[in-house]
Amino acid sequence: MTDLVRDVRIRGRRIRVAVRPGDGRPLVLCNGIGASLDLLQPFVDRLDPSIPVIRFDVPGVGGSELPRLPYTFASLACTVGRILDDLGHDEVDVLGISWGGGLAQQFALQNPRRCRRVVLVSTATGSLMVPAHPRVLSKMATPRRYRDPAYAASIAANLYGGRFRDEPALAKEFLQGHSRPASGRGYALQLLAGVGWTSLPFLPMIRQPTLILAGDDDPLIPIANPKLMNRLLPHSSLHIYPEGHLGLVTHAHDLAPRVAGFLRQKDG
């Protein structure tokens, strides 16, 4: 089913949104840093077509305009709520990957009635977490990997792990073929939003059923992080799979049905 791509105006600024129609409660996807909504297309293609899907470009990324002022995860969660108001959805499920996992946690905290279930993929608790190696983190300082295919291939193994260790050329397919690059300022604003933010103190307050998905070869998110989140989130389950940071797209054939099964579970 073809997604309907449209612009939503929030506080006078254009936000690019893609909606896959379906029956029932939509799944909102929150993407990683520097990536446009297109990056998750392989996952959406594998997800049960009856599940409606809402994707959006963060301000300053892909087809969304730069914001007038810097934002925080808390204010961006409010923006997501306004997007849903515009689309006419009262209750949703939310999935966040990597940087977008922080946004998903914040959205779940701020919207305990609007957000029914949460899926957290390749993500952690923000500034208070078990960090990646400094050599890995240094490669996240700019969005160059989305613009330079040769550079993306050269760092893919050490940055993303998993299949990229044996197939570095996949970086071109996923990072350039499935994503529009963020502007330099847009990327910087995403980095800034994460400075000082942590979900560690409020994880026990997220009461929604939560599925945590983690690759066992993720250089960016050491496995201790999802294990800690699983202990602190009161209604969570953890699934560790044999892949790296971008397993949601490279391992979509396994993870998409798992996510669909979790979303179809009855509450209570």
Q: Are 111 and 104 in contact (CB under 8 A)?
A: no
**Residues taking part in catalysis:** 98
